[in-house]
Each structure stands twice: as structure tokens, then as C-alpha cells.
Structure 1
Amino acid sequence: MTELRREDRQSFVHFLRMPTEMFDEILQRVGPRIAKQNTFYRNPLEPGLKLAITLRHLASGAKYRSMQYGWRVPHNTISVFIPEVCQAIIDEYVDEVMPFPSTMDDWKRIAEGFMEKWNFPHALGALDGKHVACKCPPGSGSTYFNYKKFYSIVLLALVDSDYKFIWADIGGRGAASDAQLWNASDLKSAIEDGDLDLPDAEPLPHDTEDIPYFYIGFVKPGMSFPSYTLEANFGRTNRRTDGDDAFGLRTFMQKPYGHRALALRKGYSITGSREHVEFQVLMSTMQHHPSTIRLIVTTCLVLHNLMRTRYPRLQNRLVDHEGRNQEIVPGEWRNGRQMRDCQVVQGPNRDNREGEKGTQYLETLD
């Protein structure tokens, strides 16, 4: 690592998925949390080595038994300290880089970001779910076996206009659908109970009727809003759905509205540029216990937000962006593998008057 850092910094970035400056910052802040005392029996592993091994595992998805030869650290030792390092990173950074909005002004800043960057009004975040493959946990039966015929836990996440995670529910069993996880989530309960201090309804641009602020729920491949849209980028369809999927149409929830092929499309991916490019461990079949998987996934989200905060330019080539003529320039994330979508469960039509008003308004933006 020392030679790589000194002689080829670009390879260092490729190896750990972060610049040397960010590695140094994390080591300085997390090092005291993961350092062990010297004993008469043996000297402990250096915090820098433990951090580098952990970051390499997240970046590559390499198995512990294969990593032990390159790092000269036994695989059973690696299995002990990686969860400790992940927990230390979360404890040190989560409140700083992944704070949940606590005031009306915080939510309005998110909505202003969607309007400024995507020309999309009243959006408080984009919500989606993804499967993280894992081995079958002992004694779990089929509760982690999903509809795509592999074992997994589910990541349900809310992101803002800058590709930063705002909220995440990690650890849902693979057999559960988006609808089941969303209905049982603390976020949905807080929204329905009025605990989030969301902005009051206001007229949309060039309109006079008050429309509530809302979240955007992606539930089917390729669903898209017309013209001024955020797109899930999991395929393409032109078929409208009528509020019968995981994220039912509500005053606080809008869903992609199918439309004719559009010359201009806004590209947006919840998991696109981050997990599959930065953290290959999320693309592998994890061999860990579900509790360790939750730690690893949470650490990936925290590190992603830290990277977006400290070094956004390093990631700008990865994400979709708008060109000079308002065309979407695809990011490099599209060339890689994508995480697996969650199951869509059909249910009753739950459209409501306010949701339809919002949908109709968005259609007129074309």
C-alpha cells in the first residue's frame, strides 16, 4: 500500500475507490476507535492496515480466504475486525454525512435541489428498493429466498437530487416485497403520523392550486415521468400504471407516469452510480451473517455520501448529467452491472384526488 500510494496514486484510487486524502481523513478519525493495545503476547494490527483491508473488501467484494494471502492476515482475523471497522466508520460519520431532515427548511432545501438540478418541483426524495444477494442464513428456511430465485436482504433507500442517501431501511428479508417493507417502515409511519414537519402544500410553478410536497416511488422497470422527469433507468416502458404497485399513489407519494417516447429524458438512478461502481461487494453473493451485511451496506452508503460531500468531481463522470441542450449525457455507471430490483406486488387501486392532480400537472410539463 505504501509503494502504491507513493508511486501510482491513480491505482491507489482504483484499489480502494477513494483518493489518498480521503483515506487519511478516515484513518485519522476512525483510527482511535479501531486501535488495540499492545500486549506481551503479540502486537496488534495497525489501524491503517485494518482500514485498508476493510475498504478493499467493500471495493472488490473479495472473499476473506483470498484476501489473507495478499495481506498476510488470517481470514478468521479479517472476519473479526471488518465488522468492527464498519461500525466505527458508521459511528464516526453517519450523523455528519447522512443526517435525516429534521425541519421544514431541511425538506425545502431538498425540494429546491430537485427543482434546480432536475427542473422537478415539490420532490422530497426518490425511493426505491434493491436486493443484496447473500447465502441462506442458517435456520431461516425460505424467508430470505426472493422471487428471482436467490437469497437476499433488501435495501430500501431514499435519495436526494445530488445522489446522496437521506434514509435507508436495510435488512428486510428477500421474500418480502417492496410494499411489505415500505408499509412496515418507520419513514412511512412518520409521514402518516405527521411527525416529519413536511412543507405545507403550495402551488406548483405557473399554477394557482395548492399541491402537497411528495416523494417519488420507483417500482417498475422503465417507468418515467413525462419530460421533466427522474428515471429509474432499469429499462424502458411506455405503459402507465394506475396506483396498484408497492408505492401507492398518495398525497405524499407520486409514481412514474408512463408516456410516449420523449426526446428529452431526465436520467436518475437511486443505486446506479454508487453501489455497483464504488462497492463491488454489493454485487457479490455475501457470505456474512445478515447483521454483518447490514453493517457493510450501511458503511457503503455512508462512504458514498462522504465521497459526494468531499470529492463530488470524482464521481461526476459516473452519474448522468444534463448537457448544454438539455439532453441527458449517460454516466459511466450504465456500463456496469446493476443491483437487482425488488418484487412488485399487485394490490387495490389507491389513487386519490390530490395524487391525480399532481400527476395531471406533471403530464402537462411535456
Structure 2
Amino acid sequence: MDGVLNKFDYPMCIGALDGTHISIKAPQGLESDYYNYKKFHSIIILATVDSNMLFTYANVGAPGRCNDAYVYSKCQLYDVIQNDTYSKHYMKINNIKVQSHLIADSAFKLDRTLMKPYTILPDMPKENATFNYRLSRCRCTIERPFGLLKNRFRCLKRKMEFHMDNTTNIIKTLVVLHNLCIITGDHSEADWDMLAPENIYKSL
């Protein structure tokens, strides 16, 4: 929480929540369940990240037909964060208790444990616009790790044609490896672009 407050001037945020689709060969007979709104078969990675671009939670394997909010409502993270334990962690701001919470985009349901942007209106109050700005800055922290994950492990940019259990296990492993790369200061996405096939032999 302190990392988000220090970097983005946004208090009591325990992580940014979002999902991304990974292209797969759909299980036989279940093609429609895995066909997403982007017109391809996929499974979903629903994840939270912290201010250092580390994944702090990842739910892998929901069928692409599902939306992110539905996946969140059915996952273990939702049950954990709804626990009363989290309501005991709060900061008083203008005499209002602001408890620890996740942040997400407008696709998710607003509640005491998840904040999302105000609906953008031409005459929206300045306070609401300021809140949206700060929330948006924080939320960008999850978009970059997803891109970084796919740039590091480019099999995630292609159709994964393995057995479903193997596919989900591979993705979970890559999420862990992503975190290890961040912690140890391994290559950034720019470094990986430099090591594209046409340049890789120049680095040897």
C-alpha cells in the first residue's frame, strides 16, 4: 500500500486488478465456451499487481467467453478480500474511513473492497475528475506487466495448442518467472526487443 501511495499519491490500494486473454486451441466440444468477444478462442489471466509490477495474485484458466468481473466474483481472491479482516485496515481521510481495496476499470462492480472510475461526464465535479486521474495512473501499473509478461515469454502471443492442464500450468510458471525477473533486475521489455531473432546472435 505504501508503494502505491508514494508513487501515485493514492492511499490504501493493495493492488490493481485486470484480465488479459491468451489464445488457445479450444477443448473439443467446448469451442463456444472459449470464444471471446475479440473473436478468438482463449483463456483468461485475471491478476493483481503491485506498484513494482509484481503479480501478487493470478487466476489462470477461465474460459474466454467469461467477462473479467464474472471471473473475479467466482475466484478465491474475491472471497478473501471480502473477509472482514480487510475492513480493519483503514486510513481516515477527512474523517472518512478509507479501507484497503483493489482498483479496477469500469467493467468491475463497485463495492467497499474495489474502487473504479466515476462515469465521465462533461460537467463532472473537479474532485471526481481528480480521483479518476489518480486511479488511472495507478491502473496503468497492471497494463504494463501484462505487456511485459507477453514480451518476455512470446509463446503467450501465439496460440497455445497444449492440453488445457499443461497450458494453465505453463502460464502460472511464466507468471512466477516474470516476478523473479523483476526482483533480480533481469531484462526489461526494451531489452527483450533488442534480443529479437535478427539481433540475438549479435549479443553472443
| Correspondence for 2:103 | 216
What TM-score, normalized to structure 2? 0.77
Structure 2 counterparts to residues 173-212 of structure 1, below 5 A: 173-194=63-84, 197=86, 199-204=88-93, 207-212=94-99
Q: 1:141 to 1:266 in 2, by over 3 A?
A: closer
1:122 to 7, 12, 31: 12
Any stretches of 5+ residues in structure 2 without a counterpart?
121-128, 194-204
Contact 2:26 2:41 in 1 (8 A): yes
Inter-partner Cα distance in structure 1 for 2:51 and 2:87: 17
| Cα deviations by residue, 1:207-239 (Å, 9 ceiling, x for unpaired) | 3322222110125xxxxxxxxxxxxxxxxxxxx
* Displacement after TM superposition at 1:199 (Å): 4.7
Are residues 1:296 and 2:170 paired?
Answer: yes
Q: 1:271 to 1:286 in 2, by over 3 A?
A: farther
Inter-partner Cα distance in structure 2 for 1:269 and 1:284: 24
1:251 to 99, 112, 129: 112
Are residues 1:266 and 2:127 paired?
Answer: no
Inter-partner Cα distance in structure 2 for 1:112 and 1:120: 9
Paired AA for residue 118 in structure 1: F
* Displacement after TM superposition at 1:271 (Å): 4.2
- Quick check: which one's strand share is greater? 2
- Quick check: which one's helix share is greater? 2
| Cα deviations by residue, 1:179-215 (Å, 9 ceiling, x for unpaired) | 2211111111122233x556522213xx332222211
Inter-partner Cα distance in structure 2 for 1:117 and 1:288: 40
Any stretches of 5+ residues in structure 1 without a counterpart?
1-110, 220-244, 319-331, 336-366
Contact 1:126 1:218 in 2 (8 A): no
Paired AA for residue 163 in structure 1: M
What TM-score, normalized to structure 1? 0.44
| Correspondence for 1:275 | 149
Inter-partner Cα distance in structure 1 for 2:148 and 2:155: 12
Q: 1:199 to 1:308 in 2, by over 3 A?
A: farther
Inter-partner Cα distance in structure 2 for 1:141 and 1:252: 34
| Cα deviations by residue, 1:144-180 (Å, 9 ceiling, x for unpaired) | 1112211000100011110000011100011111122
Secondary structure, aligned partner of 1:180:
helix
Q: 1:172 to 1:116 in 2, by over 3 A?
A: same
Inter-partner Cα distance in structure 1 for 2:65 and 2:96: 42
**CA RMSD in angstroms, aligned pairs only:** 2.5
